[in-house]
Amino acid sequence: MNQPYILIVEDEEKIARLLADYLQQAGYRSTWLADGLSVDNEVRQHKPDLVILDLMLPGRDGLEVCRALRQFSAVPIIMLTARVEEIDRLLGLEMGADDYVCKPFSPREVVSRVRALLRRANGHLLAEHPDHPRDGLYLDEERFQAKLDGQALDLTPVEFRLLATLHAHPGRVFGRESLLQKIYADHRIVSERTVDSHVKNLRRKLIEAAPERDLVQSVYGIGYRWGD
């Protein structure tokens, strides 16, 4: 049996147990760490399929943990926060979480976010053969790396997913709303303007790597598409 493995990092035992119970019922295996100090090791050694990470932790807070994980891993991360206002600030920091859930939460809701993120992680981001990248773009989902014309791109996780989504369907026009759904597990918390700013940053990075190409094109009034 190949049960997905979820790592819960949470200092409140009651919350951790509740999550573990619901995850188990949903068919997931989980373990629990009560502080932020040993997370890196656990992720390196046992490669969880997803991490549920509390923001306020003893030892090292969720923010630092998240940044540290993103140095070496693309594991999907759901951040638990105590206040809804906190989420806006965290989004602005771009530290690399994939989704945010505000406490108090319904465990059922968390499980459905877990399911959505795992589906996305296993789904449309197909790694390509490094010797034959289409349009000169090489995406390595395992290592969260992208190269354009052999040149490494320094992308945030959101930019990476945005790029992978557009690139997977050349020529198809994606509306902002549908891009939001693809790049965030819960897109209700972000506005369509957010997509524009991510696209702007992504384009700047693509242009730096290949100035003569216009790979992400705007379609006026609708959205964006991949083209070459």
Q: Which phi and psi (to 5°) does residue 34 adopt? A: -95, 0
Interacting span for Ca ion (CB under 5 A) from 51-59, 110-118, 148-156, 177-185: 51-59
Q: Is 54 in the site for Ca ion (CB under 5 A)?
A: yes
99 by Cβ neighbours in 10 Å (0-12 / 13-18 / 19+) ranks as: buried
Q: Is 196 in the site for Ca ion (CB under 5 A)?
A: no
Q: Which segments of 94-170 does DSSP mark as H helices, in order?
A: 107-122, 157-168
Q: Is 11 in the site for Ca ion (CB under 5 A)?
A: yes
Choice between 55 and 153, CB closer to Ca ion: 55
Chosen residue from 37, 56, 91, 189 binding Ca ion by CB under 5 A: 56
Choice between 12 and 135, CB closer to Ca ion: 12
Choice between 54 and 98, CB closer to Ca ion: 54
Choice between 16 and 163, CB closer to Ca ion: 16
Residues that bind Ca ion (CB under 5 A): 11, 54, 56
